Amino acid sequence: MEIVLYIVIPILTFFGITSMPTRLITMMFAGRPSVLTIFPIVAAYFIWTCIDIIHSNLTNAPIPIALFLICWLVKLIEDQVVKKASWQININMAEAWVIFIWAILAMFGDFRGWF
């Protein structure tokens, strides 16, 4: 099960499934600067908290630090490979920074493993 999650979560991240709710809400409120600045960060944190809860329920362990770093790298690669509008890049990078900061903070905590 663990190996499947190491494959499925980065694939969902690359194809934008993890940021899809944020994009849909941003499109509904297009034109508001507050939606493009603060909301993607809060939404990415909420979405990745939900992913962490689902992962914890399936494996009885939180998401490993290495998986966060893999997903961060996938977001950076996706940003270079898939051409997007500027507001989509903003959402993508907000999610990438949330994942990266979460991984860095997890390195100093004692409740997550590396793999």
Segments making up each domain of the chain, as ranges: 2-14+35-108
- Cα 108 to Cα 8, 65, 113: the distances in Å are 26, 11, 11
Residue 30 backbone dihedrals phi, psi, to 5 degrees: -60, 145
Mean pLDDT of 43-62: 89
Burial class (CB in 10 A: 0-12, 13-18, 19+), 36: middle
Res 46: pLDDT: 92
Contact 98, 41 (CB under 8 A): yes
- How far apart CA 58 and CA 53 sit, in angstroms, is 9
* Residues near 64 by beta carbon (within 8 Å), at least 6 away in sequence: 112, 113, 114, 115
pLDDT, tens only, 64-110: 888 989 999 999 898 888 888 877 888 888 889 999 988 888 888 76
Res 92: pLDDT: 87
Cα 101–chain centre separation: 11
- How far apart CA 49 and CA 63 sit, in angstroms, is 10
